[in-house]
Amino acid sequence: MPVRVSASDVVYDGAIWNVRRDSFDYNGASITREYIDHPGAVAVLALDEQDRVLLIKQYRHPTGLRGWELPAGLLDIAGENAVVGAQRELAEEADVVAAEWALLTEFYTTPGGSNEAIRIYLARGVSAIAAFDRTHEEADIEPRWVSLDTCVDAVLARRVSNPILMVGILAAQVARSRGWSALAPADSPWPRHPQSSDSRSLHITS
């Protein structure tokens, strides 16, 4: 929905992402909101021939937990295609490549406080590659292949809490039940991406 933005400033320039403050007109009032200005991200639900999903366990500092996730990462390389970014993350975090790629689903993670948009890709025809030299939080990543049905059970029993994992698993379960007919081409346009000129029609005025 287009809104008239009277001011837009970066109020915190962070190491990974920034906090932006916008002032805009809405319903006859001038409103100011701050939000995380995010480069967008991609995640990969890699599925093998036995319908097992590749999960990774990784430390996340804001929660202080090591939890199960899908391989995922920021689109923080200038000009990088989203599918290429997903392929890079799968290789770097899980030492896996895939021959078949499709778009499974996409969503905003926190629309009230961030413009972060995520695409989850379905990757099939998987094979292992040489181990990637990982550092920092990724140095002790633990991979595990788990059946899709077991993953669904874990989501419904509240044993996992990562939203990308939960959305991806439930989307894959429904997509599989419909013969994968809901999948879209991996290179489908992404107008909701925060860097897309179509994601928001902002008219900044002086």
Q: Which residues are catalytic?
A: 138
CA 169 to CA 159: how far, in whole Å? Answer: 13
Contacts made by residues 15-22, CB under 8 angstroms, sequence distance 24+: 16/74, 16/76
3-state SS class at 171: helix
Residue 173 Cα distances to 36, 113, 125, 153, 156, angstroms: 31, 29, 18, 11, 12
3-state SS class at 195: coil
Give strand pairing partners of 118: 41, 107
Contacts made by residues 175-180, CB under 8 angstroms, sequence distance 24+: 175/104, 175/122, 176/51, 176/148, 180/102, 180/122
Give strand pairing partners of 5: 24, 204
